[in-house]
Amino acid sequence: MSDLPRPLPWLGVIGQVPALDVSAPSGGPVSAVLPAPLPVEAAAPEVTMATAAAAPEVRAEPPWWASVVSKVRSKFKTPKRPGSGLPARKIIVWLRNARRVSQTGFLLLFLFLLVRTEFRGGFAGGATVRMPYPVEGFLLADPFVALMTFLSTHTIYRALWWSVGMVALTLIFGRVFCGWICPFGTLHHFFAWLIPNPQGATTGGRRVKANMTHGYQNAKYYLLGAFLVAAVCGSAIGGLFDPICICVRAIGLAVLPAANYISGRGLDGLSQTNIHALQLGSDATRDALVATVMQPRQYFFHQTWVIGALLFVVLLANRWIPRFWCRVLCPLGATLGVIARYALVGMEKDHSKCTDCNLCLVDCQGADSPQGGVKHRHDECHVCLNCEVACPEDVIKFTFLPKRTSLAKAQDTLDRRKVLTTALTGAAVLPLARTSDTIDSNYYDRLIRPPGSVPERDFMERCIRCAECMKVCPNNALHPAFLESGIEGFWTPILIPRIGYCEPTCVLCGQVCPTGAIQKINETQKLGDPVRHIEPIKIGTAFYDHGRCLPWSMATPCIVCEEFCPTSPKAIWVEEVDTPDRNGHPVHVQRPHVDPTLCIGCGACEKVCPVQDRPAVYVTSVGESRSKTNVILLETSNYNRS
């Protein structure tokens, strides 16, 4: 991959190109293949026009306020367009504003759904707890997720068919998802504006250069190829790079808890002052935050700093490559890009009119070669419409059924050998990951999957690491795995009972799972029903560490574990014992035992064990319902009962 611009030459007729600035001596025809680096003024028409208007005819000392006045005036005057001065089509200006509204709206919708991906309860709610609307909606409309899981499972899980709608939308309008809808794209759009390239400031040659098509933009297609091959081989690992997954994961597991922490500590500090008004204000603010966006308690996520740091790095990369993620890495963008090659709406360019002013490149989001003299990269275009609004010569037109000759073809852009090698990489990663310590051998004993999870191999085919389950878990029990489930299971959900246990009547993680890695179960399936002979879903089994247990080794009553055991009859039963203390006096204690036939592995006992650092009762995954091999008991054995 080269960092040099690699536009595809337009081989049609190129007309005489008038110079941009009529007062300057006219130059010869500008090279159509690679435009020379432009002076800063060329890319900053507003500045040029404003200064020109303010310059007096007579050579006189301008008063000190002249520059101020001209600046103020330029704020209110519509700057004259450079070049031909033709105004942009009304509809396009309107559509660009519509795009901005759409981006803001969808980002807010996404954040709203994310914040609502939790159970808050309410007076109107009944005994059955469900999410009132599909909070995972963005993932359901994600064709990359649908395609990946289709290749790995050969099925489309439930509402993932929504993504067909997105395919249809892309077939009509191109990658409008990237430019108009994607919340991660909007974040990048915003950050590329917020932290522009330090050398090129906000406009100018470097910025134009940065927005030209680069070879590195092909990386995402190779990445997509590798992920799809990995999916065929049985791993949905591509979810690590899905932008919606990243958004849910990074904002839900890192940004929101961090914001909660900061606001909580700040307001705590206020409420600890002795000033009554500050205390009241702090309490009221806390109440308002908890009622709207914050959680009533601080959530913690296992190794979430990595997730936060990666988000930071990716957003910071906009400083060097605007919309770094969307252009270089996004596999969803690549999926839509492939589809967008066949879109009905596209760009048509009148190359003969182009003056090579490069204004179209100043705000180009996709780096899709909107400028004249080169073929348009339809697959890279986000349809943001900035180029057509900026074009002073009316060269660029978005239209239905554009002339295909100005569009680049796949074979122009992708290197067949690279496609092959990356595909092979995708195929090779899997056997390497799976011959390490996972799934088949040396299974990590505390790899507890959420209730309703499919067997581990199927789980890997489905789990896209979107973190919806972790966000929705009311007890903060589900966490992104670090290396617990091997390199392949990075950021898949695991249950860490010490932080939170699995609430027995809760089935929300399965409800929000978009791919069925956690199946949609109901309460009866989860809790079982002895009358109808339905076995409860077990996610593990509890064990006692007698050396640390108070009644077992310290002659001290406790059995909080038994109190919290939610099954009926309780899986933890107690043995009444009189045990001597160090002086030989008998102390009556109740010693807890686990009945593995009744234990569902929810981890409530581990959560509440008073031995704070390493609890005396802990859950491991053995006995989980989903596995036929990770078992203790013969199915017919009836432990502890005659």
Partner 1 sequence: MLGASGLIAWRRYDRGGWSVGDQGGPREVRDYRVADHGGPSDFAVIRGTSASRPAEMVRHAVEALGGMRRFVSRGDVVAIKPNIGWDRTPIQAANTNPEVVAAVVQLVFEAGARRVVVTDASCNDPGRCFQRSGIWSRAHAAGAEVLLPAEHRFRTMRLRGEVLDEWPVYRTLIEADKVINLPVAKHHNLAKYTAAMKNWYGTLGGRRNRLHQSIDMSVADLATFMRPTLTVLDAVRVLLRNGPQGGNVDDTQRMNAIVASTDQVAVDAYGCTLIGQRPENLAYLRIGEERRLGTRDWHTLRPREVALRDDGATERYGLIVPAGVSPSDVAFDLHHPAPRIIT
- Closest approach of Cβ 507 to partner 1, in Å? 12
Cα end-to-end span (Å), the chain: 71
- Closest approach of Cβ 325 to partner 1, in Å? 35
DSSP H or E stretch at residue 107: helix 90-115
Pick the stretch among 263-271, 385-393, 410-418, 444-452 that binds partner 1 (CB under 8 A): 263-271
Pick the stretch among 220-228, 260-268, 381-389, 450-458 that binds partner 1 (CB under 8 A): 260-268
Single out the residue of 93, 560, 577, 587 in contact with partner 1 (rule: CB under 8 A). 560
25 binds partner 1 (CB under 8 A): no
267 binds partner 1 (CB under 8 A): yes
Peptide bond into 322 cis (omega under 30): no
Residue that the structure tokens 């914050």 belong to: 294
449 binds partner 1 (CB under 8 A): no
Q: What is the DSSP letter of 162?
A: H
Q: What is the DSSP letter of 437?
A: S
Single out the residue of 28, 126, 198, 584 in contact with partner 1 (rule: CB under 8 A). 126
Phi, psi for 334 (deg, rounded to 5): -65, -45
Report how far Cα 576 is from the mean position of its chain's Cα atoms: 53
Single out the residue of 215, 234, 264, 455 in contact with partner 1 (rule: CB under 8 A). 264
Quick check: helix, strand or coil at residue 126? coil
- 102's CB contacts (< 8 A; 6+ apart) are 180, 181
| Binding-residue pattern over the window 472 to 491 for partner 1, x denoting contact by CB under 8 A | --xx----------------
Quick check: helix, strand or coil at residue 541? strand
535 binds partner 1 (CB under 8 A): no
Single out the residue of 553, 556, 579, 627 in contact with partner 1 (rule: CB under 8 A). 556
522 binds partner 1 (CB under 8 A): no
597 binds partner 1 (CB under 8 A): no
- Closest approach of Cβ 289 to partner 1, in Å? 9
Identity of the residue, 301 or 443, whose beta carbon is nearer to partner 1 in the bound complex? 301
| Binding-residue pattern over the window 85 to 124 for partner 1, x denoting contact by CB under 8 A | ----------------------------------xxxxxx
Q: What token pair was written down for 359?
A: 């204004």
Residue 625 sits at the vertex; the CA angle it makes with 622 and 627, to the nearest 5 degrees, is: 70
Quick check: helix, strand or coil at residue 124? coil
Single out the residue of 77, 297, 457, 614 in contact with partner 1 (rule: CB under 8 A). 297
- Distance (Å, rounded) from C-alpha 334 to C-alpha 328? 9
Identity of the residue, 77 or 120, whose beta carbon is nearer to partner 1 in the bound complex? 120
Identity of residue 213: T
The residues pairing with 588 across neighbouring beta strands, listed in sequence order, are 578
Single out the residue of 570, 596, 601, 622 in contact with partner 1 (rule: CB under 8 A). 570
Pick the stretch among 105-113, 144-152, 347-355, 500-508 that binds partner 1 (CB under 8 A): 500-508
Nearest to 449 by CA among 619, 268, 234: 619
- Closest approach of Cβ 599 to partner 1, in Å? 14
DSSP 583-607: TS-EEEEEEEEE-TTT-----HHHH
* E strand residue ranges, 241-367: 345-349
- Closest approach of Cβ 577 to partner 1, in Å? 14
Nearest to 345 by CA among 179, 104, 107: 179
Report how far Cα 3 is from the mean position of its chain's Cα atoms: 27
Single out the residue of 195, 293, 338, 574 in contact with partner 1 (rule: CB under 8 A). 574
Residue 150 sits at the vertex; the CA angle it makes with 148 and 156, to the nearest 5 degrees, is: 125
Single out the residue of 504, 536, 596, 601 in contact with partner 1 (rule: CB under 8 A). 504
**Total number of residues that touch partner 1 (CB under 8 A):** 48
Nearest to 537 by CA among 445, 627, 639, 447: 627
524 binds partner 1 (CB under 8 A): no
Identity of the residue, 251 or 609, whose beta carbon is nearer to partner 1 in the bound complex? 609
Nearest to 348 by CA among 6, 10, 87: 10
- Distance (Å, rounded) from C-alpha 294 to C-alpha 535? 37
Identity of the residue, 423 or 594, whose beta carbon is nearer to partner 1 in the bound complex? 594
- Closest approach of Cβ 640 to partner 1, in Å? 16
585 binds partner 1 (CB under 8 A): no
- Closest approach of Cβ 558 to partner 1, in Å? 5
Helix, strand and coil in the chain, % to nearest 5: 45, 10, 50
- Distance (Å, rounded) from C-alpha 567 to C-alpha 404? 66
Identity of the residue, 3 or 283, whose beta carbon is nearer to partner 1 in the bound complex? 283
Contact between residue 110 and residue 138 where contact means Cβ atoms under 8 Å apart: yes
Pick the stretch among 13-21, 64-72, 179-187, 557-565 that binds partner 1 (CB under 8 A): 557-565
Identity of the residue, 321 or 604, whose beta carbon is nearer to partner 1 in the bound complex? 604
518 binds partner 1 (CB under 8 A): no
Identity of the residue, 294 or 513, whose beta carbon is nearer to partner 1 in the bound complex? 294
Print the SS3 string covering 211-231: CCCEHHHHHHHHHHHHHHHHH
- Distance (Å, rounded) from C-alpha 414 to C-alpha 555? 72
506 binds partner 1 (CB under 8 A): yes
Single out the residue of 102, 271, 421, 436 in contact with partner 1 (rule: CB under 8 A). 271
- Distance (Å, rounded) from C-alpha 357 to C-alpha 92? 20
- Closest approach of Cβ 506 to partner 1, in Å? 7
608 binds partner 1 (CB under 8 A): yes
Identity of residue 96: R
Identity of the residue, 267 or 347, whose beta carbon is nearer to partner 1 in the bound complex? 267
Quick check: helix, strand or coil at residue 580? strand
Q: Rule CB under 8 A: which of 233-252 touch partner 1? A: none
Identity of the residue, 119 or 216, whose beta carbon is nearer to partner 1 in the bound complex? 119
- 256's CB contacts (< 8 A; 6+ apart) are 114, 115, 293, 294, 295, 299
Single out the residue of 17, 330, 430, 609 in contact with partner 1 (rule: CB under 8 A). 609
Pick the stretch among 164-172, 341-349, 422-430, 606-614 that binds partner 1 (CB under 8 A): 606-614
Site of interaction with partner 1 (CB under 8 A): 119-127, 129, 264, 267-268, 271, 283, 286-287, 290, 296-298, 474-475, 503-506, 550, 556-560, 562-570, 574, 590, 608-610, 612
